[in-house]
Amino acid sequence: MALFIPETPRRSNPYLDRIRVVQGSIVEQDVDAIVTVIPQTLEYRGAINQLIEEKAGEKMDAFLRDNIVQPRLGDVYAVPGFNLPCQHIMFSVVPVWRDEWDRSDQQLLNATRKAMELARTMSLTTIAFPPIGSGRRGFPKARVARLIVQGITDRLDQHFDEVRLVCQTSETQTLFEERLDKM
């Protein structure tokens, strides 16, 4: 009987090696853009947005209020990085999530995909995502890892040098690393 050894399966996206999971703070990332979500009200809800607001400075708030009028769900806006080391901050507009029934996987998936598309359109090559949508009233972190990684890989191509997943805790970092390993 002949022994048959199949070829090693190919990755679903040949650019997966351009995704890095790091532990740190999103506001310390020296990349072309960092991504976050914001409700239609443009309120800085959640720890990530409050940290971005604090570190970017008062000019960011004035810029948002002066330049973003009647944001619609699904819109993505790129604003200057202000006092952050990144060149741009991308805000994906999502609804206010009050409870489990308000959250839709599709909303977070689309927010991630559209941020990647905008980055490509702007010729940005490095982009960083925190675990957006995983705050107090958000999605469970394992679900966020699945949705963000899927959204990134759906739009990841040769135009990107690096997509960084920035996690504040080792627990969250492990969830994202495990999700990438499954890819």
What pLDDT digit, counting tens, does each position of 64-77 carry? 889 988 898 889 99
The better pLDDT of the pair 42, 159 is held by 159
pLDDT of residue 179: 93
C-alpha closest to that of 129 among 110, 149, 159, 146: 149
pLDDT of residue 73: 85
Q: What would the pLDDT profile of 120-142 be if each residue is shown by its tens digit?
A: 999 999 999 999 877 766 678 89
CA angle, residues 66, 122, 24, in degrees to nearest 5 = 80
Q: What would the pLDDT profile of 63-114 be if each residue is shown by its tens digit?
A: 988 998 889 888 999 999 999 999 999 999 887 655 554 567 888 899 999 9
The whole-angstrom separation of Cα 96 and Cα 180 is: 28
